[in-house]
Amino acid sequence: MGVCAKMKIKNKHASMTLATTFLVLATLVLVIFAIVVFNSKQNSSLEELGSVGALENVYVRSETLNFYLKETADQVTSKTDAIKDFSNRLVQYKDSEGKYVSSDLLQIEYQLADGKKHIWVEGDILKIHFDITFLEIIYPPDISKGKSYEFKYAYPFSYERRLT
């Protein structure tokens, strides 16, 4: 009877060793799978974070440009030559090197020079209209792996105020 008892104990150890081996292998496979999935999700999350940041940057730029345009329009006093008055006041936002404090003001300067009617006076109401466009390009962290994204935001800027 002593021999049979030893055999049963050996079989129990063999089955426990087999179960332990399967448990370790299953855990290893699960860990490797989790690392691969986490790594792939992390790369896509970086792209999403970059795109959200670019979109936020476009909104900040548009609000900044709107502020400068409204400030400039509020300083216009001439009913007879509002375009020249607006252009002269827009220059106050250039630094000593001749660059605008917001580079987006440059598109306003180009639109004023294109010959189209962007600023006019009807009665004693100053009316301003510009077509604003912003472009942001997002590059992936590793340019060789992945494509770049382009955000283009365009809107009409319109503003009216009574000249006194």
Burial class (CB in 10 A: 0-12, 13-18, 19+), 21: exposed
Tell me phi and psi for residue 36, to 5 degrees: -65, -45
**pLDDT over 80 (residue 3):** no
Token pair for 75: 């300083």
- In this prediction, residue 51 has a pLDDT band, given cuts at 50, 70 and 90, of low
Provide the pLDDT confidence category of residue 154 given band limits of 50, 70 and 90: very high
CA 95 to chain centre: 27
Residue 52 pLDDT grade (very low, low, confident, very high; cuts 50, 70, 90): confident
For residue 126, how many other CB atoms are within 10 A of its CB? 23
